[in-house]
Structure 1
Amino acid sequence: MKDEMMTASPAARRDTPGRYEYPPVIWVLLAGNLLVRAAGFAYPFLAYHVAEPGHAPGTVGTILAVFGVGWVMGQLLCGWLIDRLGRRSTLAAMMLLAGLASALLAGAKTAGALVVGAALVGVVFDAPRPVLSAAINELIPDPRKRAKVDAWRLGWTTNAGAAISGGIGGLLADAIGVPALYWINAVAFALFAAIALSGMPPDVRRPPSITKTGYRRAFSDRRLMLLLVSSAATLTASIGFFAALPMLMSRHGLGAGAYGWTQLANASTVMALTPLLTPWLSRQVATLPRMDILAAAAAWTTGWLATAAVADSTLSFSLAVAACAPGEIAWFVVAAGVVHRIAPAEHRGRYHGVWGMALALAAIAAPLLVAYGLGHGGPPMVAVSILVVGFAGAALCVPLARVVAAGSDASARSRRRLAT
């Protein structure tokens, strides 16, 4: 898929004023992402929605894992659709389906209905992530500019949305019930579909030789596979952990309102630190992928979330997750930058779809990890499990740095041969 910026002649692109300014479609996607994140109650409140009819903790963990399986499949499906059909068609279709699936989940009470609803919502709800990632990769050629957009995307789209959904969602859950949150989420998905259709340029068909290719190239790229495994481990110990946080908090009599405050604390801290860290991070990744920062950020976040696992009050949970913020920002900017660097032009959607699986895999692993830890030693075992998994993700940055550097050297040699 191409748009006007990519189909213009090289000379026209060189002469275009504001060539490196952010294209309007980026702002449309950021605004739409903020909308669905702000009303994004489906994932963070799923544990409460399943537990409300009286289902056992084991059922809660299983349905969270089913949601994660749907999420994994959805990222692969979205990546393929982006490369085959285009960003606009993919986003509009997936958001319409997300609205329908969220409405179905709102009325689900039995275990079977909850499993089906969770799987369907899992497939479609996170379609904006690979769509926006592929758009940033294609439309913003400057790595420093891309890093700034990625940082603001995390700080002011994902986390501003999380702050709203966490704070307001907790209050609404207490006032009108958790199922009503899913109806609100359904409306937001439908609105984003309308925004995509009205605010994004029409898709341009790609050559058949490109659209018929599958995921073979992506899954055979050692750089992408190492990044996927490292990211999945890190995210299991960090962002995916938030899905399992209600299980820990409920042991201390803390409900959905208290959980909402922890979401608000983490998101607000990320939002506050993003403008402070973004200039430095964008300079660091302008020329090099900086795997050392990726490893340090993973270790920092892991350490603080291990502390959160043994917290016992709303305040202590909130302080621990807020302290993760610097690591979250740095990790996301560097990791996203690696995918931007290694993704071939004709496989941008698929590469970002594969990397998007990392968070989905974390959504499967984190609840199971926490449930196992609580059943075999309590919160201290949860803390140890988080440390082991998170530090494994940080350690994988060492071989990842080697293969990324080797790939960069090979690309440089190829360019020199072509130049001569």
Structure 2
Amino acid sequence: MQNILEAIQSGNASSDDFANLELPDHYRAAHVRKDEVEMFEGQTTKEKDPRKSLHVDDVALPELGPGEAFVAVMASAINYNTVWTSIFEPVSTFGFLERYGRESDLGARHDLPYHVVGSDLSGVVLKVGPGVNKWKPGDRVVAHCLSVELEAPDGHNDTMMDPSQRIWGFETNFGGLADVAMVKANQLMPKPEHLTWEEAASPGLVNCTAYRQLVSTNGGNMKQGDNVLIWGASGGLGGFATQYALNGGANPICVVSNEEKAQIVRSMGADKVINRSEMDFKFWNDEGTKQDPKEWLRLGKAIRELTGGEDIDIVFEHPGRETFGASVFVTRKGGTITTCASTSGYMHEYDNRYLWMNLKRIISSHFANYRESWEANRLVAQGKIHPTLSRTYTLDEVGQATLDVHKNAHQGKVGVLCLSPEEGLGVLDEEMRSQHIDAINRFRGV
């Protein structure tokens, strides 16, 4: 790996130089083990500690198949799917790998007694398999996490509809929290060159998810002037949703949990902020068994005070059970609730009268297709959307980084250095960087 790192850092290695590098038969990777899936039995979700289940050791380099690429991973990032994988909830991811293994001989490579995790990366292409023409060794890239086979007709209008659609590093093996990753070539996109490796790696999953959920015609189809309620507006998903609302001429109504987070969204240019700690909403009783519609009314009043009496056109939903009833209630007649996650619980409850009698819509949204991901990455490369990176760990500290996200002791995105020996490397466009440095660093140290 040292020869690979030296080639990357030299700045003058050619594509042929990278193609001629000898690849190791093993590489360092963060992974969970199949024989440990019961290790947290009897513990509550909050008690489960990713530092105990995530191991950083050498694993074997897989065989590269057609349409695939090996990437030297300079940096990656933590997402909630890594948290779920590390605590084996809601199910063990080894079931995903076993199903993939039954699908084909190439799929069988993924069915192993260990699962290399991670759904983000920035790095350099090392080798491409047969049939790959767009990318070559030496290309500086980021990767989105949609893995598809596209052998069925279903996915050829929207690749997210492919029956074999999977999330790389969660439902497949050989993810990005490693020194080398294996991806499909149609996951690759150009690295935004005004960003460091860790900054470029961090938008990936959440940026593409936010784009589809809010901007795309497959999601909220947001237009100028829309009032958009954004839960967790300074978080990993919400931080990008807030930027997209502002960038697209909408009016974000940003829900945050404290004044520090309120200041972050205000620094983006969002001036309509609801601080949950000040409002002290109690949508559920203490037992979590019954919701209080009076609290929905109170949220709606707070929204109208900010919007000049208007209701919400689009709700950017991801907390799930805790907020979903309120989200349905406060949406205007004919409005849309888009949902992509359920971090506070999967079993949503809402009063259906407010949905059907007011012609509201609930739209499910799950990651993004290649085109949507490309557009989201393009906006980052243009300096119109910025990373939300707040802190970076080393790969050896991946357990602690994942625990921080598990405990919600983080802000924005948490990055992980893989091959990169330190932060701040990988920038090629210093002039553009200088124009956006304050926005790039907005979440740093929070």
TM-score by length of 2: 0.28
Name whichever structure is richer in strand by fraction. 2
Name whichever structure is richer in helix by fraction. 1
Question: RCO greater where, 1 or 2, for CA within 8 Å and sep 6 or more?
Answer: 1
TM-score by length of 1: 0.30
